[in-house]
A and B are shown apart, each in its own frame.
Chain A
Amino acid sequence: MQKRTKKGKWDHIKAFGFFIPVLLVFTIFVFTPFFKTLYLSFFEWNLISPKKTFVGLSNYIALFQDPVTVKVLSNTFVYILIMLVVNFIVPYIMSYMMAIMLKKGQNFYKGAIFLPYVISLVVGSILYLWILNPVSGPIGLIARTFGIRLPIWSKTDGLVLLILSLITSWKLFGYNFIVLFAAVNNIPKEIIEVAKLDGISNWHIFKDIVTPMSSATGIYVLIITIVQGLQQGFTPIKVVTQGGPNYGSASLTYQSYHEAFTLYHIGKSSALSVLTMVLFMVLLALEFYFVERNVYYEN
């Protein structure tokens, strides 16, 4: 259509044109609120009072001095770490087992493993609250026939983090598994057959051939697992523990919600949100720098 000489200019316009829908939505519903949040993080305000008090950096200073911030930060990393193991490493390995090693039943397993993903985490949380009730749930009752009193996990530091991240993982496992499976399954079988004939162990095939060749999808799952650990983990915290015991299960997202909507400390909550974003931006930049350039794209 267009003349070759004008092509460069056209492309530029088109390139931006294609971004208009996304930018439109984002400007109104993400960027503007974010800048507003940034602005509010320098104020003390309760959302409805006509009086906003400028407090400079004191919201940030308060956060840095508050031991709760440290606790919440380390909780968040524990959540993410557990979810990286359960929702990234395990399904990666299992997708290899299924794509390369397993001979029969693939379709059944795929279908069944994916199912929990369609369920809401609110439902999941209520269900697990019953199933895992250490006194009255099925597991608690079984344990008791052996004379064991299970710890009350929802009130036990550490354990509460593990169980809550398992609840979130339960839902998300299937999706990550299917996506990773598709990537692993797309690797030309001949390459793997050859490697097998050469007597290379499954572990080495996985590590040296499969992971590099599926790394584009791998990165995707890695990043969404981190995002999910940060964002989706909110639901079970809200339904089951409300951040307790004594902030033992609060994550950054939950804490930001708690400050804003339980205590109406809009300024402090805003500051925490800004910090959260900055922190993860740094992580993302590191990922860009160290990982992205080593990713294998098939061209």
Chain B
Amino acid sequence: MKIKEHQLGLHFLFILTVLVLLFPLVYALSNSFKTLNDAFNNVFSLIPREFTLQNYIHVFTRLDFMRIVGNTFFISTTVTIFKIITSLLAAYSLVFFNFKGKNTLYFILLSTMFIPFTVTMIPNYLTISSWGLGDSLIGVLIPQLADVLGIFLLRQSMRGIPRSLIEYAQLEGASTYNIITGIVIPLIRPNIISTGILFFVNSWNEYVWPVLILKTKSKFTLSLALQMFISSEGGTDFTIAMAVSVMTMIIPITLYLIFQRYILDTFTTSGVK
């Protein structure tokens, strides 16, 4: 009997957490189908008084939405792949090689996480535009090809791999490439995935840097499109902003739902022992 109450209490806690976390999403979804008037005057009801697609229609007629999604997707995927590869290599070097100044190098790299982004913004803008990459997708993604956080996470997880395993493989004559792809990557796959998600989502929602670089509407990313509907002087068109928000969420959420099983599986069956 006691155990049952115990479980009930736990479920109550988790359901409450889920409700608190998901309420804003449901709120956004419901408001994206409301008229502005409805949104202002029908605050409580999550069901629109008059269901309208007008907000979505407006966004689709004003923006080349598929293109914007494509741009965002291109930037986020490229950034994620490069960040993973560069971090993987650096982390491998940190864990399995010994060289002078290793710890100092690591420490310096880690400290850069604490530099406010304002420091790099303008100099990088000048660099990018001196390369003639202003107003281009490449210009947005180039400074983001490496990330300390990735080195940090992958290093943490690689340290869980027994050294003897690597040494044994080396004795067997396996090349470093084979060791990385054959031993390291499979062993730390869940960590690679969680780092990848982090990179993808961050890049997907990045809004300060692309604003600086991109000018032409055909090159906009989703978070820039969102900002077109937010204005302090004219007022934010809440329902349209919510429609854009819903559309910015759809792709990461779908990706997550598709891969969720796989992601969670790798999390739970990971072989790091």
Contact = CB atoms under 8 A, between A and B. Distances in A.
**Do chains A and B directly touch (beta carbons under 8 Å) in the complex?**
yes
Interface of A: 1, 11-12, 14-16, 18-19, 21-22, 24-26, 28-34, 36-37, 47, 94, 97-98, 101-105, 107, 109-124, 126-128, 130-131, 136-138, 141, 170, 173-175, 178-179, 181-182, 185-186, 188, 216-217, 219-220, 223-224, 227, 230-231, 234-235, 252-253, 256-257, 260-261, 269-270, 272-273, 276-277, 279-281, 284-285, 288, 297-299
B273 to A, nearest CB: 7
Contact of A118 (B107, B123, B249): B249
For chain B, the bracket of interface size reads 35 or more
A281 B111 contact: yes
B24 A105 contact: no
Given A103-B7, A116-B22, A127-B24, A19 B112 contact: no
Interface string B234-248: 001010011001001
A276 B115 contact: yes
Q: Which 6 A-B pairs have the closest CB atoms?
A: A120-B205, A280-B114, A15-B97, A118-B252, A33-B123, A18-B93
B113 interface: yes
B117 interface: yes
Contact of A29 (B10, B13, B143, B264): B143
A105 B97 contact: no
Given A102-B7, A105-B14, A119-B249, A223 B267 contact: no
A276 B11 CA distance: 42
Given A33-B119, A36-B123, 7 more contacts: A22-B109, A109-B18, A122-B223, A127-B242, A224-B149, A256-B119, A269-B118
Interface of B: 6-7, 10-11, 13-14, 17-18, 21-25, 27-28, 43-44, 85-87, 89-90, 92-93, 97-99, 102, 105, 107, 109-120, 122-124, 127, 142-143, 145-146, 149, 151-153, 156-157, 159-164, 173, 175-176, 190, 194, 197-198, 201, 204-205, 207, 223, 226-227, 230, 236, 238, 241-242, 245, 248-249, 252-253, 256-257, 260, 264, 267-268, 270, 272-273
Contact of B267 (A33, A185, A220): A185
Given A14-B93, A26-B146, A252-B116, A299 B24 contact: no
B107 A179 contact: no
